[in-house]
Every structure is written in C-alpha cells, then in structure tokens.
Structure 1
Amino acid sequence: MEPQLSHSVTESVATVVIRHPAKRNAMTTAMWRALPPLLDALADDAGVRALVLTGEGGTFCAGADISTLKGSPWEAQRLAVAAEEALAAFPKPTLAAVRGHCVGGGAQLAAACDLRFAQEGAVFGVTPARLGIVYPASSTRRLVSLVGPSAAKYLLFSGELIDAARALRTGLVDEVLPADGLDRRVVEFTATLASRSQLTQAAAKEFANGRTDRDAHWNGQAQEGGDTAEGVAAFLERRPPRFNWSPPGRR
C-alpha cells in the first residue's frame, strides 16, 4: 500500500487514518503536505462536529519517514510544523486515538490534538536528540503546556520512550484504555462531543489556546446563535438540546 492519509465521516465524526504500515505509519513528505488541505476541507464541512486522528493497525505513528530527511531535513521539518499547526488550529474538537508507537512526528501530531486516548501498551517518545534535530519552538511550547517543563525536558533531552501509564501521569494522555476498549470509548466520547454545543467548544478552544481577547466576539456569537436559549429551554423541558450553531466556513 502506498503511504497515504485516508478519511471518513460517520455520525458527524471525521476519522483521519495515517497509513504507512511498511514503516509503522511513519509520515512521508507527501503525507505531511497533504494533511493541512485535508483538515481545511473537513473544517469547512458543516456535517463534521469532531475529528479523530489515528494510525492503521497496531501503531499510531512512528514519526517521520527518515528516508525523506536525507535531502533537506529542514524542509521536512517545515512541512511537519505546518501540519502540526493546521491540526492545532482545527476549529472543532480533535482526539488522537493511540495504539503502539507514538514517537517523534507522531507525538508531535498527537500533542497538537485537543485530547489523547491511548491503548494499554502504547509507547510515547519525543526523539529529536537521537538525530541531532532541533525540535521546533512551537512544538516545544506545546509539549511544555501539556506535561510541564521538567517532563518536557526529560523527553527532549533523553529521547527515551515512556509507557502509557507514565504518559497518563504526566498529562501527555487523558485516558488509557484496555486493548479491547479503545475503539468503543472513542466512539462513545466523540458521540458526546458531537452532541454538545459547538459554540461552547469553539470558544473554549480559543481561550484554552491563549486567545483570551475574544470575549466580546464570543458573547456576540452566543447572543446571535441561539445555542444558549436552546440549551436553557432543553434543560427546563427535560429534553436533549438541539444545538444549531456551527463555525462559519473559511473559504
């Protein structure tokens, strides 16, 4: 199978799958380049309310395909950062579903998601020190925001792999599931995300990512969009809410 990113949409949840089984789903230059436009298309799809990123089979992503670094490692890194930033900027909730190795560029992508659920037995590593690569400043700041300075330095300085239990303790992952429970939990949780107010989620994501100057904008959206009125009415009438606000298309 040629290395590729595939995607599907089911019950308002988009799933993007990293497929490169010959190299543990390592990302090629073409795959890094393909991710931002794919995310743009899914962001503009009003039927998509959440996104899951995962890898084919028993591995999430073993990093960048090292063979693509021979010519211009700096260009490969630029493409990886652009893909990471596109994922971090996706306007709807994102979740990395992790099995097996989540290393290097794979950890970079997982960290750019809003949440990370891992299967028992998953391993994580941030490995630029093994290759003499300077980890990007934006990626370093994102890692520090997740795990704190000390744990980030441990990962970056050593390039050592950590297991899912330690990743959970440090805050690198949010839940660890048994081998037969990850898929079910991801489906259940993303169904919950898809049922909630996209207005609340979009505002919370901006605020959590540092855009704390947009209170007036989001209060205006709340007044105009109808989700607040619908949420209160549904609560009083003891029925599930039917939230209608969605982020405007960016094209």
Structure 2
Amino acid sequence: MLQRALEDDVLVLTLNRPDKRNALNLELCRALWDALDTAGTGDGSVRAVVITGAGSTFCAGADLDGVYGDDFLEAHYGMLGAITTVPVPVIAAVNGPAIGGGTQLAAACDLRMATAAARFAVPTARNGLAVDPWTIRRLVHLVGGGHTRGLLLAAETMDLAAALTSGLVQREGDVTDAIALAHDLAGLAPLSLAYAKHVLNSPQLADDDPSLRAKFLACFASEDAAEADAARRERRRPVFRGR
C-alpha cells in the first residue's frame, strides 16, 4: 500500500494502490502520516522526502468506495498536516493525474515536480464534497485566487503547462529527477531549511513571534553556520549536521 525506500538520507514514499489509481483510504493516510512522523524524529537519518505514485497515476483522490467518515478525515488531514510540519523538505513527484485529494497531497508538499502526464483538479462541485479552508487558502497561496476559483468553482483541470505557469509546479521532471533534487536539498543546512519551511507554512504567525525569532537566531548560532564559514575559507563544500 505504501512503499518506503531510504536512499542515503532521502526517504522515497510511493503510493502503491495502482488498481485503485493510488486513491487514499484510511490505511494509506495513516501509513503516510506514520512515515512522515518517523522522518521528523530529528536523528538526521532523513534530510528530504519524495512522495510519488506507482503506475501512471499520482493519486486519484479519496477512495470513495471505502470508509469515508470521521476516522478517514482525521487521518487525511493529519497526514497533510504532517507534510507541512515535518522539518525537512518534502517533494511531490507528480507522475500522472493528481485529482481531489491528490491535488491536496501535492499542494501540501514544499516543492512539486511533474511530468507531462500530470493533471490537477479539485472537482468537489461535481461530487457534492468539499475541501477544508486550509486547502483553499493553501491553493490561493500557491497559485493565486484566480486559478483557485477556476479549480473550485468551475471544476477546471490544470495540465502541466498551466501548473508551471501558475507556480503550482516548480519544475518538469519524473521521480528520478525529484530524487536527484532531494539529494541536493539533503546537502543543504537542515536548520535553515526547517526555519524557512516553518515561516512559509505559518502565515498566521507575526514577524515578532518568539518561536520564529528563536529559530531565526538559532541558525546564526549553529555549528552549521560556523561550518559554512570554515568551508568558505578552506574552499570546500560544507558538511552540515543540523546543529
């Protein structure tokens, strides 16, 4: 159901329900949530995460043939929240259609890479369902109000070209490209990445919020900052340890 592969310090999570077009059910949401919680333990073994889908679909959304009650909603939104709070970058490798919950899953990630087969849609108006306010605001933040209105009110579908133009997708590429990018990110300073991600995903916090200030100052006082300075003077690549 969920394949996990650790490639050095990059965790690759593959939704593996190709017969259901990788639709999200309770078990898959819980498995993703657990994997992301494990990645955020802070032991340094995972520096970046890639999420992709098996077969030709990234994720067809929620499995409407399964149980779709409070337990599913809790697991679904808990999993999306875990993506935004895990202190390492998460990349969506969108290898095909990302519909409904699939678009939510991709949008929750920090960066998105997609192939020409990618399609994004949130057709809640076609099935009588709804997405939570966080998802709507997240889409507005990523692609702007006009594109979000098209997705939600007109039930439009975005292809790769539109996703690239809107900013929903940062780069064209497949899962191999996404893993290569993840390895690049894994070589960057973990505290700096975690701080930037925290600010980007916490728009409700004021600029003078104590938690933001503490994380900001911690970067300057870190061993990694000293290592970067030493590496510049010694003309070598820094080796960051996240402390």
Output the TM-score relative to the length of structure 1: 0.89
Instruction: Name the structure 2 match of 1:158.
Output: 154
Q: Which runs of 5+ in 1 are unaligned?
A: 247-251
Residues in 1 aligned to 2:217 and 2:168: alpha-carbon distance in whole angstroms: 34
SS of the residue corresponding to residue 82 of structure 1 reads helix
**From 1, 6, 22, the counterpart of 2:3:** 6
**How do 1:20-169 residues align onto structure 2 when only pairs under 5 Å count?**
20-44=17-41, 45-68=43-66, 72-73=68-69, 75-169=71-165
Residue 239 (structure 1) aligned with residue 239 (structure 2): no
Q: Is the 8 A contact 1:16 1:51 kept in 2?
A: yes
Residue 197 (structure 1) aligned with residue 199 (structure 2): no
Q: Which amino acid aligns with 1:230?
A: E
Spell out, residue by residue over 1:180-202, the C-alpha distance to the aligned partner (whole angstroms, 9 max, x if none): xx234223211110111001101
Q: Is the 8 A contact 2:106 2:112 kept in 1?
A: yes
Residue 176 (structure 1) aligned with residue 172 (structure 2): yes
Shift of 1:207: 1.4
Residues in 1 aligned to 2:242 and 2:55: alpha-carbon distance in whole angstroms: 35
Q: Which runs of 5+ in 2 are unaligned?
A: none
Spell out, residue by residue over 1:67-113, the C-alpha distance to the aligned partner (whole angstroms, 9 max, x if none): 125xx445433332121111111110000001111111111110000
Shift in alpha-carbon separation, 1:132–1:195, aligned structure 2, 3 A:
same
Q: Is the 8 A contact 1:165 1:176 kept in 2?
A: no
Q: Is the 8 A contact 2:50 2:179 kept in 1?
A: no
Q: Is the 8 A contact 1:59 1:99 kept in 2?
A: yes
Residue 206 (structure 1) aligned with residue 198 (structure 2): yes
**From 174, 185, 192, the counterpart of 2:177:** 185
Shift of 1:54: 0.3
Once the two structures are aligned, what percentage of the paired residues are identical? 37
Shift of 1:223: 4.7
SS of the residue corresponding to residue 65 of structure 2 reads helix
Residues in 1 aligned to 2:126 and 2:225: alpha-carbon distance in whole angstroms: 50
Shift of 1:55: 0.3
Provide the aligned length of Structure 1 versus Structure 2: 237
Residues in 1 aligned to 2:16 and 2:180: alpha-carbon distance in whole angstroms: 24
Output the TM-score relative to the length of structure 2: 0.91
SS of the residue corresponding to residue 96 of structure 1 reads strand
